[in-house]
Structure 1
Amino acid sequence: MDHRAEPGARLLLTRPEAASRRFLAACEAAWGGPIPALVSPVLAIRPVEVVLREDPAALILTSENGAARAVEMGLRDRPAWCVGPRTAAVARAGGLRAIEAGPNAEGLLAAMLAARPAGPILHLRGQHARGDVAARLRAGGLEARELVAYRQEARPPTPEARRALDADRPLVLPLFSPRSATLAQGWASRAPLHVVAMSPAVAVAAAPLGPASLDVARAPDGLAMVEAVLDRLAWPSPGLRGGAERIR
């Protein structure tokens, strides 16, 4: 693709540092050149000390953070039902038998209820999680439990991001989870915010930011987010090419 950035716009990336850098690299590869960007994680991942009361027959991993914690806890060489390719890749690299079971929790639930794996099945999750995965699997007759293995702590903007938020230069803000969108509400902004949300649920959580525009990616995955962000950055006018649904 041949793009030029909307004059003055910058990308504000709020995922954890490594994930933000990967996303920026994917955007720049698709864009065909550098994109002005700031990285300022809105949360930090902190491990929670846990005690396993039983040895799980299989794991549920709904994020790469959960996959990383499973490896740290020594839970290798067992099936791991994973949301998304990145989670599956981290699990596989750590010695788990990763099963990529869809792009989101709904896809994972459908796959597991169809396959009906033997339990006990343990969902390693963060302190803040959506979807009630273990409870819904139990309602479907599977032996599933959950364990909080990490917490997501709010972080303030970096000094550079704070200056950008206080200025007039437009910021394109991709948001990947309702939790991140909610935490971003604490980052008061004078700059016009052009939000790209990964899902309708993220868009709902982002609405209180009062964005100048709000788009939802066509699918809840990284490729669709890259497409939607590039749509938003496209110049001379942001035009939708199938990468997002315009909310406002």
Structure 2
Amino acid sequence: MNIQSQPTVLLTRPAAKSLDFAARIRAGRADVTVIIAPLIQIEYCDLPADALGYDALVFTSTNGVLAYQNANAPAHKIAFCVGDQTATAARDAGLQAISAHGDVDQLFDLICKDAPSQPLLHIRGEHSTGDLAQRLNQRGFQTYDVIAYRQIEILLSQDANAVLQRPGQVIAPLFSPRTADIFAPYAKDAKASLDCVAISENVKQAATDFWTKSSRVASRPDAQSMLDAIFEII
């Protein structure tokens, strides 16, 4: 395969996660060009003192776990986690993690099934989907939430803009509705043959305006399924 015909995978999630994901792509397909161009920068917030007093926590991202850990918060608490990666981060932080192995809806179902009696605290980002705390309160579970980090929008890099403006295959993995929303103006202006891989149906909905026939949703909302879907398109 020559340089001109190489597919390009454009990673727009925050830098640290993009670096890890890029390494996994290159390990599976050495011929693929990977461009890291984050559209979001994570900025952690100070947690209020009362946030450290809850015995049952809810996490919908690893960033929430890191924010909790950065606060030197107590360990050995129950942590309901959206997926396996978040649960691993929670265990590394000394928490008793329980994984929903999926998305926010599956996390909601897990908590309802487990039926915790103590109040819950959802530690989340400024932009969050699923209205999890509200839904849990409606089911009778005393649930609060706290914003632990902000997802600051940043401009797409010149290298990423350049690859979108020339012919060639570009695949854009999208890991959140917010990233899809930010990416939309660049995608709609693209001259490249652009396909997307969405981690969930919610993300697909956010990418509706630039979704193509060969774009796809990962079979499960996890990194390995995202990789599998990317390799299916290439």
TM-score of the pair, normalised by structure 2 = 0.90
Which residue is equivalent to 2:83? 84
1:101-156 deviation per Cα after TM superposition (whole angstroms, max 9, x unaligned): 23111111111111111322100111111111111111111111001111111111
Quick one: distance in 2 between partners of 1:185 and 1:115?
Answer: 38
Relative to 1, partners in 2 of residues 1:210 and 1:221: Cα closer, same or farther, differing over 3 Å?
closer
The structural deviation recorded for 1:28 is: 2.9
- Structure 1 residue 68 and structure 2 residue 66: aligned? yes
Aligned length: 230
Shift in alpha-carbon separation, 1:190–1:74, aligned structure 2, 3 A: same
8 Å CA contact 2:45, 2:67 repeated in 1: no
Which deviates further from its counterpart, 46-55 or 218-227?
46-55
**Given that residues 7 and 32 in structure 2 are in contact (C-alpha distance below 8 angstroms), is that contact kept between their aligned partners in structure 1?**
no
Which stretches of structure 1, 4 residues or longer, exceed 6 Å deviation after superposition?
A: 3-6
Equivalent in the alignment of 1:113 = 112
The Cα shift of 1:212 comes to 7.0
Q: Which residue of 2 aligns with 1:239?
A: none
Contact 2:167 2:191 in 1 (8 A): yes
Contact 1:81–1:98 under 8 Å retained in 2: yes
Q: Which residue of 2 aligns with 1:206?
A: 207
Residue 49 of structure 1 is aligned with which of 31, 34, 46?
46
Letter in structure 2 aligned against 1:209? F
Contact 1:181 1:205 in 2 (8 A): yes
CA contact (8 A) 1:88 1:100 kept: yes
Tell me, which stretches of 5 or more residues in structure 1 are unaligned? 234-248
Counterpart position of 2:126: 127
Secondary structure at the counterpart of residue 130 of structure 1: coil
Q: Aligned letter for 2:26?
A: E
Deviates further, 211-220 or 117-126: 211-220
User: Aligned AA for 1:74?
Assistant: N
Percent identity between matched residues is 32
Offset at residue 210 of structure 1 (A): 5.5
1:6-51 per-position Cα deviation (integer Å, ceiling 9, x unaligned): 92321101111121122222223333x3521100011111112332
1:43–1:153 contact (8 Å) kept in structure 2: yes
Please tell me whether the aligned partners of residues 175 and 196 of structure 1 are also in contact (alpha carbons under 8 angstroms).
yes
Q: Say which SS state the counterpart of residue 155 (structure 2) adopts.
A: coil
Distance in 2 between residues matched to 1:115 and 1:131, nearest whole Å: 19
The 1:220–1:210 alpha-carbon spacing in structure 2 relative to 1, beyond 3 Å, is closer
Task: Measure, in 1, the Cα distance between the counterparts of 2:224 and 2:54.
Answer: 33
List runs of 5+ in structure 2 lacking aligned partners: none
What CA deviation, in whole Å up to 9, does each residue of 1:196-235 have, x standing for no partner? Answer: 11122211211223647421222222221111100111xx
Point out the structure with the larger helix share: 2
Report the CA distance shift for 1:224/1:116 in structure 2 as closer, same or farther (over 3 A). Answer: same
- Give the superposition deviation at 1:164: 1.3
* Inter-partner Cα distance in structure 2 for 1:226 and 1:5: 22
Q: SS at 2:145's partner residue?
A: strand
Q: In structure 2, what is the Cα distance between the partners aligned to 1:161 and 1:185? A: 14
Q: Equivalents in 2 of 1:52, 1:155: separation in Å?
A: 30
Q: Distance in 2 between matches of 1:23 and 1:193?
A: 19
Report the Cα distance in structure 2 between the residues aligned to 1:4 and 1:221, rounded to whole angstroms. 31
Shift in CA distance, 111/6, structure 1 to aligned 2, threshold 3 Å: farther
Displacement of 1:5 in angstroms is 10
RMSD of aligned Cα (Å)? 2.2
